[in-house]
Amino acid sequence: MAENEDGQEKTEQPSEKRLREAREQGNVARSRELSTVAVFGACVAALLALGGGLSARALDWMRQALSPDRALLDAPHLLLGHMGGLMLGFAWILAPLLLVALLACFVAPALMGGFNVSSKGLVPDLKRLDPLAGLKRIYGPEGLAELLKSLLRVALVGAAAALCLWPRLPALRAMLQQPLEHAARDGLRFALWVLMATAAALALLALLDAPYQKWNWRRKLKMTRQELREELKESEGRPEVKGRIRQLQMQMSQRRMMEAVPTADAIVVNPTHYAVALRYDGGRMRAPRVVAKGVDEVALRIREIGQAHRVALVSAPPLARVLYREAEIGQEIPVKLYAAVAQVLSYVYQLRAWRPGTPPPALDAIEIDEGDAGGAR
């Protein structure tokens, strides 16, 4: 069972976040055996398809290389250019094979989960130079798996070569008596058979190695339950962070609410425990709206700000309690409270118009049923 540095067993499958981070760091499942057989097999297939044309071109090139121009003997300074031309011609002959091998390099990554380009994989990692980690890799489970894979590779390739060689030993001996051209043709045909058998053996090894490498890659990325819990906390948000965010949101909401108190027309109070600030603009509002409300310390702060900005404080305990319960900040008051609030606003407007020397206005008793105020808005 895999363990992390703290000795905890990694029993949980890697999360999508863990898999995504591994790919971003260039850590993806790869099979060297699959890459080898993809390139080797593609080249063998190209030789089978293009063998006739390649052999004819190679024969022409060999005749040209072995039949130099006698004029070169009198001009040694041309030998270097002649050699360069021969090498260029040989490279041109091999160009189709090289192109096939290059394209085959993309087959294995596509079969193992797609292409992955990551600059983080190019950053030097000093941990890879740790000799203890290197010894652990060599003599650990991964080293044993690589040893078994190497032995299996030798056995499969050796068996494939033996199966090709044994039945054709008489033909190989007979090639010694054949003309050079016939012997070369038969020898190339025999070499192709050996290459095909070798490719088949490597393909069998790749079929075993690719699933193992993918399983081993996911096994290394497994997580402990603690790591899974920590990741879940990070994705959903740590409780202390979420609590702090809620606290800041409440503070910002209260700050905006207190800034709106000076714009209120009246503050209905309990008079000590509740405070609800109301504002009404007949030209733009259908009904009065609550701009601030609170209890205890918040209510006290609302009253203080209201008094500082000369906002009328109206003591109506039942109405203050119902407004606090049923009305929301920034919304219109419930319909069933229209009459009671209109009575308060009428009293406030009378206070604004009152002049010293005249009888002050009086607020009539506000009749309201606290248990039946939550009707339609």
b/e sequence 183-202, b meaning 16+ C-beta within 10 Å: eeebeeebeeebbbbbbbbb
pLDDT confidence of residue 116: 67
Please state, rounded to an integer, the average pLDDT across all residues of the chain.
Answer: 80
**If you average pLDDT over residues 258-287, what whole number do you get?**
86
pLDDT confidence of residue 236: 59
Cα-based distances in Å from 191 to 44, 59, 94, 184, 196: 10, 17, 17, 10, 9
**If you average pLDDT over residues 355-371, what whole number do you get?**
71
What does the alpha-carbon distance between residue 214 and residue 61 come to, in Å, rounded to a whole number?
46
pLDDT confidence of residue 62: 80
Contact 220, 4 (CB under 8 A): no
Whether pTM exceeds 0.75: no
Contact 313, 307 (CB under 8 A): yes
Confidence of residue 374 (pLDDT cuts 50, 70, 90): very low
Confidence of residue 240 (pLDDT cuts 50, 70, 90): low
Q: What are phi and psi of 214, to 5 degrees?
A: -70, -40
Q: Quick: pLDDT tens for 137-156.
A: 666 777 788 888 888 888 98
pLDDT confidence of residue 4: 54
Q: Quick: pLDDT tens for 97-138.
A: 889 888 888 888 888 776 666 665 556 666 666 666 666 666
Q: Quick: pLDDT tens for 298-348.
A: 888 888 888 888 888 888 888 888 888 888 888 888 888 888 888 888 888
pLDDT confidence of residue 377: 37
Contact 311, 266 (CB under 8 A): yes
**If you average pLDDT over residues 227-243, what whole number do you get?**
69
What does the alpha-carbon distance between residue 107 and residue 103 come to, in Å, rounded to a whole number?
7
What does the alpha-carbon distance between residue 309 and residue 302 come to, in Å, rounded to a whole number?
11
pLDDT confidence of residue 6: 53
pLDDT confidence of residue 64: 79
b/e sequence 57-81, b meaning 16+ C-beta within 10 Å: beeeeeeeeeeeeeeeeeeeeeeee
Confidence of residue 373 (pLDDT cuts 50, 70, 90): very low
Helix (H) or strand (E) holding 315: strand 312-315
What does the alpha-carbon distance between residue 371 and residue 373 come to, in Å, rounded to a whole number?
6
What does the alpha-carbon distance between residue 117 and residue 293 come to, in Å, rounded to a whole number?
57
